[in-house]
Structure 1
């Protein structure tokens, strides 16, 4: 059984350190170190990741918030200024992915860098960051699933429960499911990356990116089906009955893009350039 200790790590006067903020900061620092190392192994431009990271983080957070507010506008229409209150919660990973990819495209064009190779060295860090960041949902007692009595059930305080589940105490810890799924995906990506460095047959540029899009999306589709706080079209949470769960729809789209990418890469036989031939 899981019981959250609360969202705040400590408070000193007006200064409050929240678990979610700490986890995001750790994910960014670890991602910077990991992606920089992978970029070095791929012989990409020196300081590429450190130059990219500030804009990538900023626009990904903005995209995540805009995406969430757009689909939850009924909660913000009366008080639109609250849409800027990101500290009150409300971001969506698919919004961050879309904004992050657009930022990466712009950056790579400006710096004359190969988009797919740069995307490849970022996706393991993205998967790890998602695995770590999901624990922020645990501390905030949010993003949980339907009621359950399984041994790994999650206790949710009454103030965080939807009215229709007000008498239920324990719920599916969907944060845990997605964290483990992303950790598995991260491990698979790193192992494939290392295999590609030493294999006679080089991995085609974009292969890691497509694998991430498919892998993450497959996990999100079934995990999202358990959640009681989905973003919906045509219905309202927690049941979303008769409507479409946005995260599931986006996951299907991203998985389809990943599958199309695999067909394009292997159908066209586009190999990764020999790292030893790149001059910076």
Structure 2
């Protein structure tokens, strides 16, 4: 009989200061923001752009607000809508947990639109700065999910399966680690390499949308769907339903970006 790994119990509270508990998941958000600020400041210090440190700090502040507000609102609307209808105050119960990447993405897009309008920049000039910074935060968030022992995968017999204490006695895919490797590590490497090749306006943003949608759809094949939602038609999950438009939009942005660059080259 095969022996499987048991999920290592990790206290979700990193440390306490009096009655205040600081959770690992919250620290992961902070780590992601600090990394993004560090990379954005390095970008602002370069001589080949018109950004400065104050501007990138303001941009990331707006994006951080977009992540928090959009992530919470998106989770409630996408994953807990019946509960929200019956108890609207639930949306403010952030201590109960619940954040949605797709909701956070919408919040960040709105923040970037606002910043672009405020600073008289093209939207994709702003988006192309932000996109390569996102995967690190996504990866940190998935590590936070793993520490919390949540968002586990489907039942499996692969040798690296884990038995989660809150998911019953059966071994499961460590889907948080899959998403960490795809959405965090691999996506970060691809976007960093791709952005340094000086692609046309919007291409970095389009590549992020396209690849994240693909990686998330693939990872959802191993992740247990939320119990209050389950599977949809053809065995799809809410994560896949929300990610498929990202693939389509990302592909469209990439096509538009390269066609625009080619057209401008011909016009010269």
TM-score range, shorter chain: 0.7 to 0.9
**Structure 1 residues 167 and 154: alpha-carbon distance in aligned structure 2, compared to 1, 3 A threshold:** closer
**Partners of 1:3 and 1:154 within 8 A in 2:** no
Moved more, 102-111 or 186-195: 186-195
SS at structure 2 position matched to 1:269: helix
SS in 1 for 2:15: strand
SS, match of residue 16 in structure 2:
strand
What's the CA shift string for 1:41-80, capped at 9, x where partnerless?
Answer: 3513212210122222112211111111113122344433
Q: Does 1:215 align with 2:198?
A: no
Residue 138 of structure 2 corresponds to residue 130 of structure 1: yes
| RMSD of Structure 2 on Structure 1 (CA) | 2.3
**Any conservation in 1 of the 2:12–2:23 contact (CA below 8 Å)?**
yes
Conserved in 2, the CA contact under 8 Å of 1:3 and 1:155? no
* Distance of aligned partners of 1:119 and 1:191 in 2 relative to their CA distance in 1, 3 Å threshold: same
Give the structure 1 partner of residue 254 of structure 2. 262
For residue 126 of structure 1, report the CA deviation from its aligned partner.
Answer: 0.5
1:59 aligned onto 2:66 = yes
Q: 1:241 to 1:10 in 2, by over 3 A?
A: farther
- Counterpart of 1:6? 11
**Structure 1 pair 97/252, CA: closer, same or farther in 2 (3 Å)?**
same
Offset from partner CA, 1:229-280 (integer Å, 9 cap, x none): 349xxxx43444667533212211111111111111112226999xxxxxxx
Partners of 1:39 and 1:119 in 2: CA distance: 15
Mind listing any 5+ residue stretches in structure 2 that lack a counterpart?
none
- Residues 94-103 or 33-42, more deviating: 33-42
Aligned length: 256
Scaled by the length of structure 1, the TM-score of the pair is 0.83
* Structure 2 equivalent of residue 199 of structure 1: none
Cα offsets for 1:90-117 (capped at 9, x unmatched): 1100010011111101111111123212
> SS at the partner of 1:147?
coil
* 1:176-205 superposed Cα distances (whole Å, 9 cap, x missing partner): 111111211111111122233xxxxxx211
Q: Which residue of 1 aligns with 2:179?
A: 178
